[in-house]
Amino acid sequence: MTKLLLVLSIFFFSTYITFSQDTSLISSRLYQSPIFKDHIFGFSLYDMDQHQFLLGTNEDKYFTPASNTKIFTLFTALKNLEDSIPALHYIEKGDSLLFWGTGDPTFLHPKLDTRKVYNFLAETDKKLFYVGDLTADEPFYRMGWAMEDYDEYYQPEITAFPIYGNVATFRSVGHKLRVSPARFQVDIASDGVATDRFWIRRDWNDNTFLINNTNIPNSYITQKPFKYSDKLFVQLLQDTLHKQVNFISYPKPIKVDTLYSAVTRDVLREMMLTSDNFLAEQLMMVVALNRYHAFLTARLRKDMATFYPAYLMDKIDLYDGSGLSPYNKVTPRALVDLLLMIAREVNDVDELHYLFAAGGLEGTLRNTYQLDGGMPFVWAKTGTLKGVYCQSGYIQARSGRNLAFSFLHNNFIGSPMPVRQEVSRIITFIRKNF
């Protein structure tokens, strides 16, 4: 018995020494980094095999997470959505089909549309009636969003029934500018100003798209969010279906039929890999409707915030689902706790990695890491705002150890590239030396 205790003591002591040496090497790199010395950063590292935190630096301090917020949206969707996204609710009354939006972002989306909704509406012989259903207190923007970014591709309006991703796509065809949906072609106007670079700007109040008096570059393509309204949605839908669609007000019955569209995991993967703000916010709309039968995303965030304390060491404070709001505040330790919850929820390594960008291969991490032996070793979500760079996810060390980490950086000046490169250097060091 004494010999067994001695062996166990030696094992645990040697394990502690190894962990201590490993983490001290990481700590020295964190504190000696010339890149990190001029701003605030937090780091948390967890051993998923030994079930223990290995290292924490400001791990309990609060940071703006930027698009690391989407990890919370990912978990919320995994907990609340079925295998496919509910695309629309509908009822049939005599010769009429009444339908409501569910917040589904995939209808006529350039990457995610399944044509299921289009075919359903196009092939019915019933009269179509779209019923507006957006909850009165649900704004098209979230708290803290920059109003100056209203015509940037990454900030489309949030709506009950998105169409074309709620953006207009402009591209050069020959020497002319063409837009999809074609409905917006008549809304293009020139401001007569000549500059060195061609640009398109949308008016704040309506869908007038101004272009300057400069030659359109070859292979030019850009997207601009359009100003959404139920009237515009019906017009776009009629143009697409080539049939009459009517807009009405009608109380939604408790019992409705549901049409499903895209596979949920594929939509989540697109949201995570490309850091798509529109998909994140619309998925929160879908979840809220599923839970409350109304688009109450503020209530959803509040309810999830009360759910998390049972599983996270630290409280969280979220104001959107995408991370565009600088009001969001989380700790590195809470993000690691969340990553562990997601790993348990998915319970399959390949499926887990499918939902996060693989460093050196895809998404926002394509150019951040080098493959090691031809294989990726980090699967993570990035987040970037002005003065913010964050990265949280999973590492597979050469030793085979599986780690979860969160690395949050706030309040630096200038480009995020030096911070991103330094984060990559340290994560790569962990890969090689743990």
Q: 169: exposed, middle or buried (C-beta count within 10 Å: 0-12, 13-18, 19+)?
A: middle
pLDDT score of 310: 85
Cα Rg of the chain (Å, integer)? 24
Asked whether 88 and 148 are in contact (CB, 8 A), the reply is no
C-alpha–C-alpha distance, residues 107 and 87, integer Å = 8
**Among the listed residues 368, 411, 155, 140, the one whose alpha carbon sits nearest the alpha carbon of residue 278:** 155
**Mind spelling out the 3-state secondary structure of 112-158?**
CCCCHHHHHHHHCCCEEEEECCCCCCCCCCCCCCCHHHCCCCCCCCC
C-alpha–C-alpha distance, residues 310 and 294, integer Å = 26
* Sequence letter at residue 419: V
**Among the listed residues 313, 318, 336, the one whose alpha carbon sits nearest the alpha carbon of residue 390:** 336
Asked whether 357 and 272 are in contact (CB, 8 A), the reply is yes
| Contacts of 403 by beta carbon, 8 Å cutoff, 6+ apart | 45, 46, 47, 48, 54, 394, 395, 396, 397, 430, 434
* Per-domain residue ranges of the chain: 22-65+330-433, 79-281
**Among the listed residues 199, 194, 191, the one whose alpha carbon sits nearest the alpha carbon of residue 217:** 199
Domain 22-65+330-433 top-level CATH class = alpha beta
Query: Any bridge partners for residue 100, and if so which?
Result: 89
Q: Is the dihedral of CA 194, 196, 202, 207 positive or negative?
A: positive
pLDDT score of 134: 58
Q: CB atoms < 10 A from the CB of 294, how many?
A: 16
User: pTM for the full model?
Assistant: 0.92
Side by side, which strands form the sheet with 402-410? 52-57, 40-47, 402-410, 388-396, 378-385, 357-358
- What is the chain's pLDDT, residue by residue, as a tens digit (434 residues)? 444 333 333 333 333 334 444 688 898 899 999 999 999 999 999 999 999 999 999 999 999 999 999 999 999 999 999 999 999 999 999 999 999 999 999 999 999 999 999 999 999 999 999 998 655 457 899 999 999 999 999 999 999 999 999 999 999 998 889 999 999 999 999 887 777 889 999 999 999 999 998 888 889 999 999 999 999 999 999 999 999 999 999 999 999 999 999 999 999 999 999 999 999 999 999 999 999 999 999 999 999 888 888 889 999 999 999 999 999 999 999 999 999 999 999 989 999 999 999 999 999 999 999 999 999 999 999 999 999 999 999 999 999 999 999 999 999 999 999 999 999 999 999 999 88
**Among the listed residues 429, 374, 421, the one whose alpha carbon sits nearest the alpha carbon of residue 405:** 429
Q: Which two tokens stand for residue 225?
A: 């969010």
Report how far Cα 132 is from the mean position of its chain's Cα atoms: 26
